């Protein structure tokens, strides 16, 4: 499974745009609703933020486009890795895991994102 650090997210976005310009990248946040409300990545240009708690992914993954690049995010990277593997098993070929999760995002990219 491919993985990126939060500090590499902009590079991943740029590469995803070059590989397939028509497919808008997705940051898939698989944390629980209370976690998403506590701390989340602010919406930004260049990608869609989708919240889909891990336990709902098996029932909802059809909502995702197999052609879109997807970066999976959780608190520290373990749940998102499981989701990334699951999506890959379902035929998604452009999936990466964000190692370190939202916690590392706060340290490496955006200190305004609360830690919990």
Tokens of 82: 């499981």
In total, how many domains does the chain have? 1
How many CB atoms are closer than 10 A to CB 116?
Answer: 11
H/E element, 89: helix 78-89
Q: Exposed, middle or buried, 63 (CB in 10 Å: 0-12/13-18/19+)?
A: exposed
How large is the average pLDDT for residues 88-113? 97
Residue 18 lies in a domain: no
Residue 54 lies in a domain: yes
72 in active site: no
Distance CA 75, CA 31 (A): 7
pTM of the model: 0.96
Residue 70 lies in a domain: no
Note whether 75 and 102 are within 8 A (CB). Answer: yes
Distance CA 21, CA 102 (A): 26
Residue 82 lies in a domain: yes
| Structural domain that includes position 40 | 32-62+75-90
Mean pLDDT (the chain) is 95
Residue 43 lies in a domain: yes
Residue 86 lies in a domain: yes
Catalytic residue among 70, 74, 84, 87: 74
Q: What is the pLDDT of residues 69-82, one digit of tens each?
A: 999 999 999 999 99
Instruction: Decide: helix, strand or coil at residue 52.
Output: coil
């Amino acid at each position: 499974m491919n993985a990126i650090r939060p500090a590499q997210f902009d590079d991943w976005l740029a590469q995803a745009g070059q590989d397939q310009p028509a497919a808008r990248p997705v940051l898939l946040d698989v944390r629980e609703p209370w976690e998403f409300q506590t701390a989340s990545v602010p919406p930004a240009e260049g990608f869609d933020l989708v919240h889909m708690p891990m336990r709902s992914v098996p029932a909802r993954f059809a909502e995702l486009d197999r052609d879109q690049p997807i970066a999976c995010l959780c608190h520290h990277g373990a749940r998102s890795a499981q989701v990334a593997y699951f999506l890959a098993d379902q035929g998604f070929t452009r999936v990466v895991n964000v190692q370190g999760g939202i916690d590392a995002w706060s340290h490496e990219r955006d200190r305004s994102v609360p830690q919990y």
